[in-house]
Protein backbone atom coordinates (compact mmCIF):
# COMPACT_ATOMS: atom_id res chain seq x y z
CA UNK A 1 0.00 0.00 0.00
CA UNK A 2 1.38 3.38 -0.97
CA UNK A 3 -0.29 6.76 -1.36
CA UNK A 4 0.69 10.18 -2.65
CA UNK A 5 -0.07 13.49 -0.98
CA UNK A 6 -1.63 14.88 -4.16
CA UNK A 7 -4.23 12.09 -3.99
CA UNK A 8 -5.26 12.48 -0.34
CA UNK A 9 -8.68 13.89 -1.27
CA UNK A 10 -9.58 10.45 -2.65
CA UNK A 11 -9.03 8.77 0.71
CA UNK A 12 -10.98 10.82 3.24
CA UNK A 13 -11.66 8.67 6.33
CA UNK A 14 -9.30 5.94 5.14
CA UNK A 15 -5.91 4.77 6.33
CA UNK A 16 -2.97 5.74 4.12
CA UNK A 17 0.74 5.07 4.01
CA UNK A 18 2.88 7.99 2.87
CA UNK A 19 6.60 8.03 2.11
CA UNK A 20 8.49 11.26 1.87
CA UNK A 21 10.77 13.75 3.58
CA UNK A 22 10.43 15.85 6.70
CA UNK A 23 9.75 19.41 5.60
CA UNK A 24 9.16 20.90 9.01
CA UNK A 25 8.16 19.94 12.55
CA UNK A 26 6.40 21.78 15.38
CA UNK A 27 5.13 20.68 18.73
CA UNK A 28 3.06 22.15 21.49
CA UNK A 29 2.27 19.98 24.49
CA UNK A 30 -0.12 17.22 23.60
CA UNK A 31 0.08 17.78 19.86
CA UNK A 32 2.91 17.50 17.36
CA UNK A 33 2.91 18.49 13.70
CA UNK A 34 4.99 16.98 10.92
CA UNK A 35 4.92 18.69 7.55
CA UNK A 36 5.64 15.87 5.14
CA UNK A 37 6.81 16.43 1.56
CA UNK A 38 6.68 13.68 -1.06
CA UNK A 39 7.29 15.57 -4.30
CA UNK A 40 3.59 15.64 -5.19
CA UNK A 41 2.74 18.00 -2.34
CA UNK A 42 3.17 18.83 1.32
CA UNK A 43 0.70 17.69 3.98
CA UNK A 44 0.35 18.14 7.68
CA UNK A 45 0.56 14.97 9.79
CA UNK A 46 -0.82 15.50 13.28
CA UNK A 47 0.31 13.35 16.22
CA UNK A 48 -2.08 13.69 19.14
CA UNK A 49 -1.04 12.19 22.46
CA UNK A 50 -3.31 9.35 23.39
CA UNK A 51 -4.57 8.96 19.81
CA UNK A 52 -1.30 7.97 18.15
CA UNK A 53 1.31 5.37 18.85
CA UNK A 54 2.94 6.20 22.19
CA UNK A 55 6.48 5.52 20.92
CA UNK A 56 5.99 7.75 17.86
CA UNK A 57 4.88 10.57 20.12
CA UNK A 58 7.94 10.24 22.35
CA UNK A 59 10.42 9.84 19.47
CA UNK A 60 9.00 12.76 17.50
CA UNK A 61 12.02 14.86 18.54
CA UNK A 62 14.27 12.51 16.49
CA UNK A 63 12.74 13.80 13.26
CA UNK A 64 15.05 16.22 11.49
CA UNK A 65 14.74 18.31 8.34
CA UNK A 66 14.77 16.26 5.10
CA UNK A 67 14.99 12.90 6.83
CA UNK A 68 13.06 10.34 4.77
CA UNK A 69 10.18 8.66 6.59
CA UNK A 70 7.15 6.44 6.23
CA UNK A 71 3.99 7.69 7.94
CA UNK A 72 0.67 5.91 8.43
CA UNK A 73 -2.53 7.57 9.54
CA UNK A 74 -6.08 8.49 8.66
CA UNK A 75 -7.01 11.16 6.12
CA UNK A 76 -9.31 13.97 7.22
CA UNK A 77 -10.34 17.31 5.91
CA UNK A 78 -8.47 20.31 7.26
CA UNK A 79 -11.46 22.50 8.09
CA UNK A 80 -9.44 25.72 8.05
CA UNK A 81 -8.98 25.58 4.28
CA UNK A 82 -10.86 24.44 1.22
CA UNK A 83 -9.65 21.26 -0.45
CA UNK A 84 -6.87 20.69 2.06
CA UNK A 85 -6.47 17.32 3.71
CA UNK A 86 -4.35 16.33 6.65
CA UNK A 87 -3.38 13.06 8.20
CA UNK A 88 -4.26 12.06 11.74
CA UNK A 89 -0.98 10.22 12.10
CA UNK A 90 -0.46 6.97 14.03
CA UNK A 91 3.25 6.49 13.72
CA UNK A 92 6.37 7.01 11.62
CA UNK A 93 9.32 4.96 10.54
CA UNK A 94 12.67 6.51 9.66
CA UNK A 95 13.94 5.40 6.23
CA UNK A 96 17.04 7.59 5.83
CA UNK A 97 18.53 10.03 8.36
CA UNK A 98 19.49 13.61 7.48
CA UNK A 99 21.82 15.10 10.06
CA UNK A 100 22.58 18.84 9.66
CA UNK A 101 20.70 19.47 6.42
CA UNK A 102 22.57 22.44 4.96
CA UNK A 103 19.60 24.51 3.74
CA UNK A 104 17.76 25.79 6.79
CA UNK A 105 14.68 27.99 6.67
CA UNK A 106 16.91 31.05 7.32
CA UNK A 107 18.22 33.19 4.46
CA UNK A 108 21.13 31.91 2.39
CA UNK A 109 23.23 33.67 -0.26
CA UNK A 110 22.64 32.82 -3.92
CA UNK A 111 26.09 31.27 -4.35
CA UNK A 112 25.51 28.96 -1.42
CA UNK A 113 22.14 27.95 -2.82
CA UNK A 114 23.52 27.41 -6.33
CA UNK A 115 26.27 25.19 -4.88
CA UNK A 116 23.51 23.18 -3.25
CA UNK A 117 21.19 23.24 -6.23
CA UNK A 118 20.72 19.45 -5.97
CA UNK A 119 19.13 20.03 -2.53
CA UNK A 120 17.70 23.49 -3.19
CA UNK A 121 15.34 21.89 -5.74
CA UNK A 122 13.39 20.50 -2.77
CA UNK A 123 12.44 24.00 -1.59
CA UNK A 124 8.92 25.25 -2.24
CA UNK A 125 9.66 28.02 -4.74
CA UNK A 126 12.25 26.03 -6.68
CA UNK A 127 9.92 23.07 -6.83
CA UNK A 128 7.10 25.32 -8.08
CA UNK A 129 9.23 26.90 -10.83
CA UNK A 130 10.33 23.52 -12.17
CA UNK A 131 6.74 22.29 -12.17
CA UNK A 132 5.77 25.37 -14.19
CA UNK A 133 8.58 24.56 -16.60
CA UNK A 134 7.33 20.99 -16.99
CA UNK A 135 3.79 22.19 -17.71
CA UNK A 136 5.08 24.78 -20.18
CA UNK A 137 6.99 22.14 -22.14
CA UNK A 138 3.94 19.89 -22.20
CA UNK A 139 1.81 22.83 -23.41
CA UNK A 140 4.35 23.57 -26.15
CA UNK A 141 4.29 19.97 -27.36
CA UNK A 142 0.49 19.86 -27.26
CA UNK A 143 0.20 23.10 -29.23
CA UNK A 144 2.41 21.98 -32.09
CA UNK A 145 1.34 18.33 -32.10
CA UNK A 146 -2.26 19.51 -32.22
CA UNK A 147 -1.59 21.87 -35.12
CA UNK A 148 -0.18 19.44 -37.66
CA UNK A 149 3.51 19.93 -36.83
CA UNK A 150 5.94 17.02 -36.88
CA UNK A 151 8.56 16.82 -34.15
CA UNK A 152 11.96 16.63 -35.86
CA UNK A 153 14.84 16.46 -33.39
CA UNK A 154 17.89 18.51 -34.34
CA UNK A 155 21.45 17.33 -33.65
CA UNK A 156 23.61 18.74 -30.85
CA UNK A 157 26.98 18.23 -32.59
CA UNK A 158 27.05 20.43 -35.66
CA UNK A 159 29.61 21.29 -38.36
CA UNK A 160 28.74 24.99 -38.61
CA UNK A 161 27.50 28.11 -36.85
CA UNK A 162 23.87 29.20 -37.07
CA UNK A 163 24.02 32.32 -34.90
CA UNK A 164 27.49 33.72 -35.68
CA UNK A 165 30.89 32.57 -34.54
CA UNK A 166 31.46 34.75 -31.46
CA UNK A 167 29.75 32.47 -28.97
CA UNK A 168 30.34 29.07 -30.57
CA UNK A 169 31.18 26.17 -28.28
CA UNK A 170 33.92 24.21 -29.97
CA UNK A 171 34.52 20.58 -29.14
CA UNK A 172 36.54 17.67 -30.50
CA UNK A 173 34.75 15.20 -32.74
CA UNK A 174 37.35 12.44 -32.91
CA UNK A 175 39.96 13.86 -35.33
CA UNK A 176 37.71 16.70 -36.42
CA UNK A 177 36.16 19.79 -34.85
CA UNK A 178 32.49 20.15 -34.08
CA UNK A 179 30.37 22.82 -32.44
CA UNK A 180 27.59 22.43 -29.92
CA UNK A 181 24.35 23.56 -31.54
CA UNK A 182 23.39 27.22 -31.05
CA UNK A 183 20.02 26.58 -32.68
CA UNK A 184 18.24 23.79 -34.53
CA UNK A 185 16.93 26.24 -37.12
CA UNK A 186 18.98 25.22 -40.15
CA UNK A 187 17.86 21.62 -39.66
CA UNK A 188 14.26 22.73 -39.20
CA UNK A 189 14.48 24.43 -42.59
CA UNK A 190 15.35 21.04 -44.09
CA UNK A 191 12.51 19.55 -42.04
CA UNK A 192 10.03 22.17 -43.32
CA UNK A 193 10.71 21.00 -46.88
CA UNK A 194 10.17 17.40 -45.81
CA UNK A 195 7.18 17.85 -43.48
CA UNK A 196 5.69 21.29 -44.20
CA UNK A 197 5.40 22.19 -40.52
CA UNK A 198 8.13 20.99 -38.19
CA UNK A 199 9.50 21.82 -34.76
CA UNK A 200 12.33 20.83 -32.49
CA UNK A 201 12.70 21.23 -28.76
CA UNK A 202 15.99 20.69 -27.05
CA UNK A 203 19.09 22.14 -25.46
CA UNK A 204 21.20 24.72 -27.28
CA UNK A 205 24.53 26.25 -26.34
CA UNK A 206 26.10 29.70 -26.43
CA UNK A 207 29.56 30.37 -25.03
CA UNK A 208 28.60 33.83 -23.78
CA UNK A 209 31.20 35.25 -21.45
CA UNK A 210 28.79 37.46 -19.62
CA UNK A 211 26.81 37.19 -16.44
CA UNK A 212 23.33 38.56 -16.94
CA UNK A 213 19.98 37.53 -15.53
CA UNK A 214 18.80 36.48 -19.00
CA UNK A 215 21.69 34.42 -20.32
CA UNK A 216 22.55 30.80 -19.80
CA UNK A 217 25.31 28.84 -21.50
CA UNK A 218 22.99 25.88 -21.98
CA UNK A 219 19.37 26.76 -22.57
CA UNK A 220 16.38 25.05 -24.11
CA UNK A 221 14.64 26.33 -27.17
CA UNK A 222 11.56 25.32 -29.14
CA UNK A 223 11.87 26.11 -32.84
CA UNK A 224 8.96 25.79 -35.27
CA UNK A 225 9.54 26.24 -39.00
CA UNK A 226 6.77 26.45 -41.61
CA UNK A 227 7.04 26.14 -45.37
CA UNK A 228 5.43 29.00 -47.33
CA UNK A 229 4.88 31.18 -44.24
CA UNK A 230 6.00 34.79 -44.60
CA UNK A 231 7.00 37.19 -41.80
CA UNK A 232 3.37 38.06 -41.03
CA UNK A 233 2.20 34.43 -40.94
CA UNK A 234 5.12 33.84 -38.61
CA UNK A 235 3.96 36.54 -36.18
CA UNK A 236 0.44 35.15 -36.27
CA UNK A 237 1.72 31.70 -35.37
CA UNK A 238 3.88 33.10 -32.56
CA UNK A 239 0.91 35.04 -31.20
CA UNK A 240 -1.44 32.04 -31.11
CA UNK A 241 1.31 29.89 -29.67
CA UNK A 242 2.26 32.26 -26.84
CA UNK A 243 -1.37 32.91 -25.92
CA UNK A 244 -1.98 29.15 -25.75
CA UNK A 245 1.04 28.23 -23.65
CA UNK A 246 0.64 31.10 -21.18
CA UNK A 247 -3.11 30.54 -20.62
CA UNK A 248 -2.57 26.81 -20.30
CA UNK A 249 0.11 27.21 -17.60
CA UNK A 250 -1.95 29.81 -15.72
CA UNK A 251 -4.92 27.42 -15.77
CA UNK A 252 -3.07 24.25 -14.77
CA UNK A 253 -0.41 25.58 -12.41
CA UNK A 254 -2.37 27.96 -10.17
CA UNK A 255 -1.01 26.50 -6.93
CA UNK A 256 2.60 26.79 -8.11
CA UNK A 257 2.12 30.38 -9.31
CA UNK A 258 0.63 31.20 -5.93
CA UNK A 259 3.70 29.77 -4.15
CA UNK A 260 5.77 32.03 -6.41
CA UNK A 261 3.52 34.97 -5.52
CA UNK A 262 3.01 35.73 -9.21
CA UNK A 263 0.49 38.47 -10.01
CA UNK A 264 -1.73 36.77 -12.59
CA UNK A 265 -3.26 39.97 -13.98
CA UNK A 266 -0.55 40.65 -16.59
CA UNK A 267 -0.55 37.00 -17.68
CA UNK A 268 -4.32 36.85 -18.10
CA UNK A 269 -4.01 39.69 -20.62
CA UNK A 270 -1.68 37.64 -22.84
CA UNK A 271 -4.26 37.17 -25.58
CA UNK A 272 -3.90 38.09 -29.25
CA UNK A 273 -3.59 40.34 -31.11
CA UNK A 274 -0.21 41.52 -29.83
CA UNK A 275 1.03 44.96 -30.87
CA UNK A 276 3.55 45.04 -33.73
CA UNK A 277 6.12 47.78 -34.18
CA UNK A 278 8.66 48.31 -36.93
CA UNK A 279 12.25 48.64 -35.71
CA UNK A 280 12.14 52.34 -36.70
CA UNK A 281 9.11 52.96 -34.48
CA UNK A 282 10.79 51.09 -31.64
CA UNK A 283 13.83 53.38 -31.98
CA UNK A 284 11.53 56.41 -31.65
CA UNK A 285 10.10 55.00 -28.43
CA UNK A 286 13.56 54.28 -27.02
CA UNK A 287 15.02 57.67 -27.94
CA UNK A 288 12.41 59.50 -25.89
CA UNK A 289 13.85 57.91 -22.75
CA UNK A 290 17.38 57.04 -23.83
CA UNK A 291 18.60 59.82 -26.17
CA UNK A 292 22.02 58.12 -26.47
CA UNK A 293 20.59 55.14 -28.31
CA UNK A 294 22.22 54.84 -31.75
CA UNK A 295 19.78 54.14 -34.57
CA UNK A 296 20.85 50.90 -36.27
CA UNK A 297 22.12 49.22 -33.12
CA UNK A 298 20.66 46.18 -31.44
CA UNK A 299 18.62 46.76 -28.28
CA UNK A 300 20.07 46.38 -24.83
CA UNK A 301 18.01 44.99 -21.98
CA UNK A 302 17.10 48.49 -20.79
CA UNK A 303 15.95 49.46 -24.31
CA UNK A 304 13.71 46.39 -24.48
CA UNK A 305 12.20 47.39 -21.14
CA UNK A 306 11.38 50.86 -22.50
CA UNK A 307 9.55 49.30 -25.46
CA UNK A 308 7.62 46.73 -23.43
CA UNK A 309 6.60 49.32 -20.83
CA UNK A 310 4.43 50.97 -23.48
CA UNK A 311 2.20 47.90 -23.84
CA UNK A 312 0.33 45.53 -21.56
CA UNK A 313 0.78 42.59 -23.92
CA UNK A 314 3.84 40.99 -25.45
CA UNK A 315 5.04 43.11 -28.37
CA UNK A 316 6.55 42.18 -31.72
CA UNK A 317 9.42 44.26 -33.05
CA UNK A 318 10.00 43.47 -36.73
CA UNK A 319 12.30 44.61 -39.55
CA UNK A 320 15.57 44.92 -37.63
CA UNK A 321 18.54 46.33 -39.53
CA UNK A 322 20.01 43.67 -41.83
CA UNK A 323 23.51 44.52 -40.61
CA UNK A 324 22.90 43.32 -37.05
CA UNK A 325 21.10 40.08 -37.88
CA UNK A 326 22.22 36.57 -38.84
CA UNK A 327 23.21 35.58 -42.39
CA UNK A 328 20.01 33.65 -43.09
CA UNK A 329 17.57 36.57 -42.61
CA UNK A 330 15.78 37.61 -45.79
CA UNK A 331 16.19 41.25 -46.70
CA UNK A 332 13.07 43.35 -47.05
CA UNK A 333 12.54 43.46 -50.85
CA UNK A 334 11.42 47.14 -50.50
CA UNK A 335 14.38 48.26 -48.40
CA UNK A 336 17.42 46.01 -48.07
CA UNK A 337 18.69 47.96 -45.06
CA UNK A 338 16.07 46.12 -43.03
CA UNK A 339 15.29 42.42 -42.91
CA UNK A 340 12.21 40.27 -42.36
CA UNK A 341 13.17 39.47 -38.78
CA UNK A 342 11.02 39.59 -35.69
CA UNK A 343 11.56 39.48 -31.95
CA UNK A 344 8.84 39.18 -29.36
CA UNK A 345 9.34 40.95 -26.04
CA UNK A 346 7.54 39.81 -22.89
CA UNK A 347 5.50 42.12 -20.68
CA UNK A 348 6.86 43.81 -17.55
CA UNK A 349 10.41 44.13 -18.84
CA UNK A 350 11.08 40.43 -19.33
CA UNK A 351 12.81 41.17 -22.62
CA UNK A 352 13.24 39.05 -25.72
CA UNK A 353 11.43 35.73 -25.50
CA UNK A 354 11.30 34.94 -29.22
CA UNK A 355 13.66 35.59 -32.12
CA UNK A 356 12.88 34.58 -35.68
CA UNK A 357 11.91 35.69 -39.15
CA UNK A 358 11.58 34.86 -42.81
CA UNK A 359 14.60 33.06 -44.27
CA UNK A 360 16.57 33.99 -47.35
CA UNK A 361 15.41 31.61 -50.07
CA UNK A 362 17.53 32.81 -53.01
CA UNK A 363 20.65 30.71 -53.60
CA UNK A 364 22.87 33.51 -54.86
CA UNK A 365 21.87 36.05 -52.22
CA UNK A 366 22.49 33.42 -49.55
CA UNK A 367 25.91 32.55 -51.00
CA UNK A 368 26.88 36.22 -50.78
CA UNK A 369 25.61 36.48 -47.23
CA UNK A 370 27.63 33.47 -46.13
CA UNK A 371 30.75 35.13 -47.55
CA UNK A 372 29.96 38.54 -46.05
CA UNK A 373 29.53 36.97 -42.63
CA UNK A 374 32.95 35.30 -42.87
CA UNK A 375 31.47 31.80 -42.87
CA UNK A 376 32.85 28.90 -44.90
CA UNK A 377 30.70 27.94 -47.86
CA UNK A 378 31.64 24.25 -47.64
CA UNK A 379 30.20 24.04 -44.12
CA UNK A 380 26.83 25.16 -45.49
CA UNK A 381 26.82 23.10 -48.66
CA UNK A 382 23.97 20.91 -47.41
CA UNK A 383 21.97 23.97 -46.32
CA UNK A 384 22.40 25.56 -49.73
CA UNK A 385 20.90 22.41 -51.29
CA UNK A 386 17.59 23.52 -49.77
CA UNK A 387 17.78 26.51 -52.16
CA UNK A 388 19.00 24.36 -55.06
CA UNK A 389 16.19 21.81 -54.92
CA UNK A 390 12.75 23.35 -54.72
CA UNK A 391 13.50 26.55 -52.82
CA UNK A 392 10.49 27.98 -51.03
CA UNK A 393 9.62 30.97 -48.87
CA UNK A 394 9.61 29.90 -45.22
CA UNK A 395 9.68 31.31 -41.73
CA UNK A 396 10.12 30.24 -38.17
CA UNK A 397 11.19 31.30 -34.74
CA UNK A 398 12.82 30.16 -31.54
CA UNK A 399 11.32 30.64 -28.07
CA UNK A 400 13.67 30.38 -25.11
CA UNK A 401 12.20 28.08 -22.47
CA UNK A 402 14.03 29.58 -19.48
CA UNK A 403 13.17 33.19 -20.28
CA UNK A 404 9.57 32.18 -20.77
CA UNK A 405 9.49 30.32 -17.44
CA UNK A 406 11.08 33.35 -15.73
CA UNK A 407 8.39 35.57 -17.24
CA UNK A 408 5.47 33.31 -16.33
CA UNK A 409 6.81 32.72 -12.80
CA UNK A 410 7.79 36.37 -12.28
CA UNK A 411 11.39 35.38 -11.48
CA UNK A 412 14.09 37.97 -11.94
CA UNK A 413 16.83 35.53 -13.01
CA UNK A 414 16.84 32.57 -15.41
CA UNK A 415 19.03 30.51 -13.09
CA UNK A 416 15.97 29.30 -11.16
CA UNK A 417 14.05 28.23 -14.27
CA UNK A 418 16.18 25.22 -15.24
CA UNK A 419 16.94 22.32 -12.88
CA UNK A 420 20.73 22.51 -13.15
CA UNK A 421 21.81 25.82 -14.72
CA UNK A 422 24.98 26.18 -16.76
CA UNK A 423 26.22 29.73 -16.53
CA UNK A 424 29.42 31.61 -17.19
CA UNK A 425 31.58 30.52 -14.28
CA UNK A 426 29.36 27.64 -13.14
CA UNK A 427 28.84 24.06 -14.25
CA UNK A 428 28.52 22.51 -10.77
CA UNK A 429 26.57 20.57 -9.55
O1 LIG B 1 17.21 35.11 -30.99
P2 LIG B 1 17.91 33.79 -31.01
O3 LIG B 1 19.38 33.77 -30.95
O4 LIG B 1 17.36 33.06 -32.32
C5 LIG B 1 17.79 31.91 -32.84
O6 LIG B 1 18.59 31.15 -32.34
C7 LIG B 1 17.04 31.50 -34.10
N8 LIG B 1 17.92 30.63 -34.87
C9 LIG B 1 15.74 30.84 -33.73
C10 LIG B 1 14.91 30.47 -34.92
O11 LIG B 1 14.51 31.33 -35.69
N12 LIG B 1 14.62 29.20 -35.10
O13 LIG B 1 17.36 32.89 -29.82
C14 LIG B 1 15.98 32.63 -29.68
C15 LIG B 1 15.55 32.76 -28.25
C16 LIG B 1 15.73 34.16 -27.66
O17 LIG B 1 14.65 34.98 -28.00
C18 LIG B 1 15.79 33.86 -26.18
O19 LIG B 1 14.49 33.65 -25.65
C20 LIG B 1 16.53 32.54 -26.15
O21 LIG B 1 16.36 31.94 -27.41
N22 LIG B 1 17.96 32.73 -25.88
C23 LIG B 1 18.54 32.49 -24.68
N24 LIG B 1 18.03 32.09 -23.50
C25 LIG B 1 18.89 31.94 -22.46
N26 LIG B 1 20.21 32.14 -22.55
C27 LIG B 1 20.78 32.53 -23.72
N28 LIG B 1 22.10 32.70 -23.79
C29 LIG B 1 19.93 32.74 -24.85
N30 LIG B 1 20.14 33.11 -26.14
C31 LIG B 1 18.92 33.09 -26.74
MG1 LIG C 1 17.64 37.10 -30.70
CB-based contact 199:149 (threshold 8 Å): yes
In a domain, 356, yes or no: yes
| Same domain? 39 vs 67 | yes
Residue 98: name the closest of 60, 62, 71 by CA. 62
Atom of ligand 1 nearest to the CA of 216: 26
Q: Which of 47, 65, 96 is the last residue of a domain?
A: 96
| Same domain? 287 vs 396 | yes
216-244 pLDDT, tens digit per residue, is 999 999 999 999 999 999 999 999 999 99
Q: DSSP 3-state assignment of 280?
A: helix
Lowest mean per-residue pLDDT among 80-89, 139-148, 188-197: 80-89
| Same domain? 293 vs 367 | yes
Q: Is the pLDDT of residue 79 over 90?
A: no
| Same domain? 35 vs 139 | no
Q: How far is the CA of 129 from the centre of ligand 2 (A)?
A: 24
354 lines ligand 1 (CB under 6 A): yes
Residue 353: name the closest of 269, 289, 273, 414 by CA. 414
In a domain, 174, yes or no: yes
344's CB contacts (< 8 A; 6+ apart) are 238, 242, 274, 314, 315, 316, 317, 352, 353, 354, 397
CB-based contact 257:217 (threshold 8 Å): no
Residue ranges making up the domain that contains 163: 115-416
Domain at 92, CATH number: 2.40.50.140
257 lines ligand 1 (CB under 6 A): no
pLDDT at residue number 33: 98
pLDDT at residue number 106: 84
Q: Is the pLDDT of residue 168 over 90?
A: yes
| Same domain? 287 vs 324 | yes
In a domain, 367, yes or no: yes
3-state class percentages of the chain: helix first, strand second, coil last, to nearest 5: 35, 30, 35
Q: How far is CA 204 from CA 20, 137, 200, 254, in A?
A: 35, 15, 11, 29
Atom 21 of ligand 1, residue of closest alpha carbon: 400
Q: Is the pLDDT of residue 165 over 90?
A: no
pLDDT at residue number 293: 97
394's CB contacts (< 8 A; 6+ apart) are 189, 192, 193, 225, 226, 227, 228, 229, 358, 359, 361
Average pLDDT value for residue range 114-136: 98
Atom 23 of ligand 1, residue of closest alpha carbon: 400
- Between 295 and 83, the higher pLDDT residue: 295
239-283 pLDDT, tens digit per residue, is 999 999 999 999 999 999 999 999 999 999 999 999 999 999 999
Burial class (CB in 10 A: 0-12, 13-18, 19+), 317: buried
Burial class (CB in 10 A: 0-12, 13-18, 19+), 2: exposed
Q: Is the pLDDT of residue 424 over 90?
A: yes
Determine the longest span between alpha carbons in the chain, in angstroms. 86
pLDDT at residue number 251: 98
Q: How far is the CA of 354 from the centre of ligand 2 (A)?
A: 7
Which percentage of the chain shows pLDDT scores above 70? Answer: 100
| Same domain? 90 vs 127 | no
| Same domain? 74 vs 220 | no
pLDDT at residue number 83: 87
In a domain, 282, yes or no: yes
In a domain, 108, yes or no: no
In a domain, 359, yes or no: yes
Average pLDDT value for residue range 130-137: 98
Q: What is the DSSP string of 178-241?
A: EEE-S-SHHHHHHHHHHHSEEEEEEEEE-------SS--SEEEEEEEEEET--HHHHHHHHHHH
63 lines ligand 1 (CB under 6 A): no
Considering every ligand atom shown, identify the ligand nearest to the alpha carbon of residue 329 and give its number: 1
13-55 pLDDT, tens digit per residue, is 999 999 999 999 999 999 999 999 999 999 999 999 999 999 9
Domain at 401, CATH number: 3.30.930.10
pLDDT at residue number 246: 99
Reported as a pLDDT band with limits 50, 70 and 90, residue 418 is very high
| Same domain? 139 vs 20 | no
Q: Is the pLDDT of residue 105 over 90?
A: no
Residue 243: name the closest of 90, 381, 408 by CA. 408
218 lines ligand 1 (CB under 6 A): no
In a domain, 426, yes or no: no
Average pLDDT value for residue range 91-110: 95
Reported as a pLDDT band with limits 50, 70 and 90, residue 1 is confident
What value does the mean pLDDT of the chain take?
97
Query: What is the distance between the alpha carbons of residues 181 and 316, in angstroms, rounded to a whole number?
Result: 26
Reported as a pLDDT band with limits 50, 70 and 90, residue 409 is very high
| Same domain? 32 vs 142 | no
| Same domain? 31 vs 123 | no
CB atoms within 10 A of CB 291: 7
pTM above 0.75, yes or no: yes
| Same domain? 66 vs 156 | no
CB-based contact 244:141 (threshold 8 Å): no
Considering every ligand atom shown, identify the ligand nearest to the alpha carbon of residue 345 and give its number: 1
pLDDT at residue number 9: 96
Pairing of strands 42-48, 31-37: antiparallel
201 lines ligand 1 (CB under 6 A): no
Q: How many domains does the chain divide into?
A: 2
pLDDT at residue number 374: 94
304 lines ligand 1 (CB under 6 A): no
Q: Is the pLDDT of residue 160 over 90?
A: no
In a domain, 165, yes or no: yes
| Same domain? 80 vs 124 | no
Atom 2 of ligand 1, residue of closest alpha carbon: 355
Q: How far is the CA of 110 from the centre of ligand 1 (A)?
A: 25
Amino acid sequence: MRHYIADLHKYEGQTVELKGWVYNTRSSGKIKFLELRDGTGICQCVYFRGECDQEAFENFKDLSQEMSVKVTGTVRKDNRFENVYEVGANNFEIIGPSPDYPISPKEHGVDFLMNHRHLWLRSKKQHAAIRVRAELIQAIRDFFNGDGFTLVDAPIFTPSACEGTTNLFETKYFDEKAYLSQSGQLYMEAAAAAFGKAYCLGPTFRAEKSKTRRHLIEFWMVEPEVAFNDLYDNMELAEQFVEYIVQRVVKNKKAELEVLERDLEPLLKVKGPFPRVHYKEAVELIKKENPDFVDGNDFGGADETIISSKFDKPVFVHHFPTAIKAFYMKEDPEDSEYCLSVDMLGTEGYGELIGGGQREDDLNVLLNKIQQHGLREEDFSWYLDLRRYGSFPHSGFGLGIERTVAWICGLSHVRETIPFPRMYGRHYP
